């Protein structure tokens, strides 16, 4: 039994590129379903959107739960360098905005930056996970805008 536990705890798991892809897929699927938890787990505490930091997690959670935004990242292949990774991709966004407007657009050259951050598994085991640290989306609405 000890050998089995050791294998589970110290197995190599998916590659970094696959781990980022799986986490991105899970977060975008959760957002579309209105589940904010997996999205908040995926984004870093130091998250920035188009250069704006300090975005309130409560606002993000409420927006996801009420709006069910659809975000499709077309290229999910990350370029990885050490504990940092980047995806540059066209992204399709279909999401309600505050004020009742609908935002639907294909945005070219969206940059998603990731960093491998410390985490805890099973409440006691230290580990690392990939988190989204920054999104740069030219042409996307600013934080809190109605368009």
Dihedral pair phi/psi, residue 9, rounded to 5°? -70, -35
Q: What is the pLDDT of residue 4?
A: 47
Q: What is the pLDDT of residues 68-104, one digit of tens each?
A: 999 999 999 999 999 999 999 999 999 987 778 888 9
**How would CATH label the architecture of 14-136?**
Roll (3.10)
The mean pLDDT value of the chain amounts to 87
SS (H, E, C) 64-97: HHHHCCEEEECCCCCEEECCEEEEEEEEEEEEEC
Query: What predicted TM-score, i.e. pTM, was given to this entire model?
Result: 0.83
In the chain, domain spans? 14-136
Which tokens sit at 141? 């609405």
Query: What does each C-alpha distance from 137 to 3, 32, 83, 126 come to in angstroms?
Result: 47, 19, 22, 33
102-121 and 125-136: which strand pairing? antiparallel
Percent of the chain past pLDDT 90, that is, above it, reads: 66
Q: Residues 36-46: what's their mean pLDDT?
A: 95
Of 70, 79, 77, 80, nearest to 30 (Cα)?
70
Select the more confidently predicted residue: 120 or 21. 21
Q: What is the pLDDT of residue 22?
A: 95
Task: Enumerate residues 6+ apart whose C-beta is below 8 A from 125.
Answer: 9
Q: What is the pLDDT of residue 143?
A: 66
Q: What is the pLDDT of residue 76?
A: 93
């Amino acid at each position: 039994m000890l050998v089995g536990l050791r294998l589970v705890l110290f197995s190599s798991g998916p590659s970094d590129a696959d781990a980022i892809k799986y986490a991105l897929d899970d977060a975008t699927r959760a957002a579309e379903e209105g589940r904010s938890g997996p999205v908040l787990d995926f984004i870093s505490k130091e998250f920035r959107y188009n250069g704006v930091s300090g975005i309130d997690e409560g606002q993000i959670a409420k927006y996801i739960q009420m709006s069910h935004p659809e975000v499709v990242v077309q290229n999910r292949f990350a370029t990885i360098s050490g504990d940092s990774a980047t995806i540059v991709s066209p992204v399709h966004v279909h999401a309600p905005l505050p004020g009742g407007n609908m935002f639907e657009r294909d945005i070219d050259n969206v940059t998603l930056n990731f960093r491998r951050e410390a985490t805890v598994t099973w409440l006691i085991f230290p580990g690392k996970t990939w988190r989204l640290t920054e999104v740069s989306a030219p042409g996307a609405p600013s934080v809190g805008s109605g368009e």
